[in-house]
Chain A
């Protein structure tokens, strides 16, 4: 069933508020999404009815909490079609999930001369952890280039992937350009080269139907708060055998089997990688977020965002003085549109948008190398989710006109110099 945003909006209390006297139009979903009442209620329900630590107590509250926590793990596995919930590790965020792979796998397996293949469009969280691993192991980083229209240049794949390549890590969907990358093709090539395939799904899993077997990845990192869930919960999926072959990332309670004064043995996967008390309430609420998205259907989520994106791109193409970055068509991109208004810096654009009640992101989007590749210092970015409507897109377009009118109105210099 197609998504009915008008009725979905009733589930999101925050969408009823105003900003600077105007109804909120929230278009910063690539940064974080809003939360439905069901998720907020789940957090409140945990703390008001069965708050207890997991995997420890012999009392009823702890049993209930453990059951709900592990049910969320099973739901997470089903959501990405993972073969088993034992491949699902809960972390603080997607960044920590990628760092887990960097610390517990890359740093212990790589040596001088080995190569890590990344791309020029990665978020800093899929770049810096590998820089740290490369520094410690004297491995070399290589980068798949980005074309002028914001896609990966796969023609370089043949020369970039060599027997020295031990790990490939690629984003499923660019947080700046929305580009949906051909991860399966890259994963197949990585496997032929004998390299481990890691996918940054912080955007992709929130906006696209994802099946880890179809993706062909060994590991996938994503984030609860970018898909209706609370902050403070990240997810690392990895093949069970891969997790078993890895030593722990963090040490402490929960992750052990036995502890002597000088040595310890490890708990089974995935708990081996969940040291300390996890974000129990957050994980349980994330389970509710997944249930919400399952009811909508991820194929419908994708269809809805693609339609909004197509409408916005079409109207933007008719709007003079606006540069849009990334693939030209909505079929190749998720619901993310990076743009600049000629002669204006995106921060100034963002301030006027805020005055109009339209929340967008402005800046480098934690992807400074991609900004340099695009030849800009920063961009403004609008990103959509299930509760956005065509009216939101219209308010967004009106905010562009309001911004131009504000800076270029008569009495103010009509011919600004381009910036960036």
Chain B
């Protein structure tokens, strides 16, 4: 589900320069070294907190939306359950196995989904996709902890880890909508 421009930036990042090795030897990422600052930006404290102490890890067997998915390339697995009441998510839980980014993204997303209507969720997911493309999300939209995912953009290989959570939610919602006919 990657956008073409994401795919391009992905491959250009993995292979900083094509062709036959020449002098000077190519440096990764245009000569910049991947320093501790960049890694700290990827693994912000709030991401590690969600990874290590996820408040919404669990399942909701009676939930209207029970979606799951995986990243075939890395094997990460994620399920997200959403309980609706009066058109709004009242409880969100996630479960699965995966890296810090995928699990923290799911934890942060679950927290943000609670209290939101379907339309608000669609807007939020749109903003998260824009964030991954390097665009600024609309100012009026509160991303909460999810804003910490901005650091993932510099690691194109890891964008799919974060995107797994909203891809699963999108798929679950579309199944839900076709089921209830809204």
Q: What residues make up the interface of A, taking CB atoms closer than 8 Å to B?
A: 13-14, 16-22, 40, 344-348, 351-352, 354-355, 362-364, 368, 371, 377-378, 406-407, 412-413, 416-417, 419-420
Q: Which residues of the partner chain B approach A364 to less than 8 Å between Cβ atoms?
A: 74-75
B52 at the interface (CB under 8 A from A): yes
Chain A residues within an 8 Å CB radius of B29: 20
Contact A417:B75 (CB < 8 A) given known A19-B28, A20-B33, A347-B99: no
Contact yes or no, B34 A363, CB < 8 A: no
Provide the B21-65 mask, 1 if CB < 8 A to any CB of A, else 0.
100011111001111101100110100110111000000000000
* Cβ contacts under 8 Å, B84 to chain A: none
Q: Give the Cβ gap from B4 to chain A, nearest Cβ, in Å.
A: 24
CB of A351 within 8 A of CB of B28, answer no
Residues of chain A lying within 8 A (CB to CB) of residue B25: 16-18
B141 in the interface, Cβ–Cβ < 8 Å? no
Give A412's nearest chain B residue, CB to CB.
Answer: B48
CB distance from B73 to the nearest CB of A (A): 7
Which residues of chain B come closer than 8 Å to A22, judged between CB atoms?
33
Q: Shortest CB–CB separation between residue A374 and chain B, in angstroms?
A: 12
Nearest opposing residue in chain B for A14, CB measure: B21
Shortest 3 CB-CB contacts between residues of A and residues of B:
A21-B33, A20-B34, A347-B99
Q: How far is the CA of A363 from the CA of B52 in the complex (A)?
A: 20
Q: Is there an interface contact between B53 and A413, defined as CB atoms closer than 8 Å?
A: yes
**A351/B39 in contact, CB under 8 A:** yes
Name B's A-contacting residues (CB within 8 A): 20-21, 25-29, 32-36, 38-39, 42-43, 45, 48-49, 51-53, 73-77, 97-101, 103, 155, 158, 161
Residues of B near A412 (CB, < 8 A) are 45, 48
CA distance A16 to B24 in the complex (A): 10
Contacts of A13 in B (CB 8 A): 21
Is B52 a contact partner of A416 (Cβ separation < 8 A)?
yes
Apart from A14-B21, A20-B33, A406-B39, what 15 extra A-B contacts exist at CB < 8 Å?
Answer: A345-B97, A346-B99, A347-B99, A348-B43, A348-B100, A348-B101, A355-B35, A363-B74, A368-B75, A371-B75, A377-B75, A377-B76, A377-B98, A412-B48, A413-B49
Contact present for B21 and A420 (CB under 8 Å): no
A407–B48 touching, CB < 8 Å: yes
